[in-house]
Structure 1
């Protein structure tokens, strides 16, 4: 997660470049496709839209959610609720921030906890952490690919 003061195509491309793609590379995963809502920060003509251009340059397919259908992107919607309840509401009760960088530092620490230590319920994680789910998924994918050879 990365904090911004604006919601624009360039900031949407920036988070992919600074956080998302490096995370995928660190875990040796290709970034083949991304699912977003239909916000103007994500959608536009490739030749005039920084986010669309970034996806095209990096050969990432872009799938958009159904209009007026937040449940299409339910995992992301649930994350928004979790980060609000477990990070922002708690953090802003405990501390006054003098800068966005200071808040970003605390958010980065919380994200490490969220991905590595906090177990998640539901049909995807089933009581595991997101990192455990990711690693298990990679192993299952590798086993399926070997079985097809």
Structure 2
């Protein structure tokens, strides 16, 4: 940003204009003195004659009228559809027969939050948070995943042949625990989601976090039956851990582990065509290690979760 007393700031413009108007300098001489074009010198001289010193300030470049701007009535319709239906620009444009770029400009002009930043149930902006230290909060969840039949599913055999092998393959249950601050994850593939299975998983997860130097203070889960059981409650109470549950139909409250679930689906479960369920399971420990120790996390400035857990440095191999 130029200095206030540099030529052709407000002070420089005033000096130029006074040379022309008050002292009678020719435009070319004034332009040469202040190293501007004669056209520029004439503009500031005319502005000084009309407005005085106040005319030396920059004026808004906004046009006095915008005949091609979207009518106010159309803007109100766009906003109404966005608020009531929570649609994106393309769907709103299709409904109102407008250009998606026009709809996007209107939404941006009125600073309406992106759909990804809104709560689906209430349309209110989602409040982002992060605990200050590892162990203050651990998110726990179960992801149900269809098993791959022997010989492969539709990604290997094609959709028609894959349908014939789908039945009877059964399901696996990924029990996941993710630390809120570091995003460090502990995960196991287990055969069911019963209370005994979930409680035994937490005992092993708790040991994993303890070895990493993390003392768990709170655990957040959804309202699944295994997490409402006395077995689960007593297991956490024995460790002095506070148990919190999300509100019904609000999975975003447990968003850290929900995002982990989506990541493991994209980068492990469906990352390549596996021919057997065992082949996919064998690839999971290596992927989980990469996630914790090597994969950059956008919420951690491109660093892996282990970067926030000093005790894991020696395990980063």
Shift of 1:94: 3.1
CA-based RMSD: 1.7
Correspondence 1:1-149 to 2 at 5 A: 1-18=187-204, 20-44=205-229, 49-91=230-272, 93-98=273-278, 103-122=280-299, 125-135=300-310
The answer to whether the 8 Å contact 2:216/2:241 transfers is yes
Shift of 1:126: 2.1
Instruction: For residues 36-62 of structure 1, give each alpha carbon's deviation from its aligned partner in whole angstroms, at most 9, with x where no partner exists.
Output: 111111113xxxx22112112222110
Aligned counterparts of 1:94 and 1:6: Cα–Cα separation in 2: 22
Shift of 1:86: 0.7
Unaligned runs of 5+ in 1: 136-149
Higher relative contact order (CA 8 A, sep 6+): 1
Q: Runs of at least 4 residues of structure 1 off by over 6 A?
A: none
The answer to whether the 8 Å contact 1:2/1:104 transfers is no
Unaligned runs of 5+ in 2: 1-186, 311-317
Instruction: For residues 59-88 of structure 1, give each alpha carbon's deviation from its aligned partner in whole angstroms, at most 9, with x where no partner exists.
Output: 211011122111111111111100111110
Structure (1/2) with the larger strand percentage:
2
Q: How many pairs does the alignment contain?
A: 124
Shift of 1:104: 4.1
Aligned counterparts of 2:282 and 2:274: Cα–Cα separation in 1: 15
- Alignment TM-score, normalising by the size of structure 1: 0.75
Q: Bigger radius of gyration, 1 or 2?
A: 2
Aligned counterparts of 1:54 and 1:4: Cα–Cα separation in 2: 19
Aligned counterparts of 1:110 and 1:23: Cα–Cα separation in 2: 17
- Alignment TM-score, normalising by the size of structure 2: 0.37
Shift of 1:25: 1.3
Shift of 1:118: 0.4
